[in-house]
Amino acid sequence: MELNLAGKAALITGGSRGIGRAIAEELAAEGCNLVLVSRNAADLRATSEAIAGRFKVRVLIEALDLADGSKVVAVARNHPAVDILVNNAGAIPGGALADVDEARWRAAWDLKVMGTINMTRAYYPLMKARGGGTIINIIGNAALMRDPDYICGVTGNAGLTAFTESIGSVSLRDNIRVNGVSPGLTATDRVVTLLSARAEKQLGEAGRWRELIGLVPGGRLGEPSEIAAMVALLASPRSNITSGAVITMDAGVSSRSG
């Protein structure tokens, strides 16, 4: 399927590893020039060099922490001409209400929740002035699962889901599409760490985390490349009528739990 993305400029937060890197690779394969934002400069350099060498596109990097709102302003000032914004940065800790203190809760939300909101606030008017664009928020199916042992993520993801649906319900007036993708368990280092902690709590041994995957129809984790393919489709003119949607990609787990 021709997605007609060649020559577009895409900015991806959390773009150096995991789902963010897979999205960067997918969009580069479609001919997009990239701006990758992450806190880890070494990972950013390695990722940018690998992508630029493989796909022959321009890859710029910004090593900074989007939990600091002033850094968001700096990114928008340095890279105003963005057609596709992918808000992917953020890692919310697992744990029940008693396990996550205020400092950890606020730190997680400053990056993922406020980072997504601030990046959208910064780029929405820039896109409007340029004639349009698309914003895609990577959220997570915790918003639907309501897992009390991931309470910080449940609450943050539910807020981002509502934020995405609300902004996206009117954004086409400005020729801007705002959508979200909510992955379930996906094969990233962070998910393996969370599963290990859950396995230690429930099964008594962190190394038995793979047994928890039996809860997923199909018996496997999602692949970052599968999430990336959906992002590319949503970013493309093939999805011109799609806005205010949050696509859940979790093998039906959240539907089954309902």
Domain range summary for the chain, segments of one domain joined by +: 9-184+224-247, 186-221
pLDDT tens-digit series, residues 18-49: 999 999 999 999 999 999 999 999 999 999 99
Interval 172-185 mean pLDDT: 96
Percentage of the chain modeled with pLDDT above 90: 79
Phi, psi at 222, each rounded to 5°: -70, 160
Classify 208 as helix, strand or coil.
Answer: helix
Burial 127-143 (b: 16+ CB within 10 A, else e): beeeeebbbbbbbbbbb
Q: How confident is the model at residue 143 (pLDDT cuts 50, 70, 90)?
A: very high
**Superfamily of domain covering 9-184+224-247:** NAD(P)-binding Rossmann-like Domain (3.40.50.720)
pTM summary value: 0.91
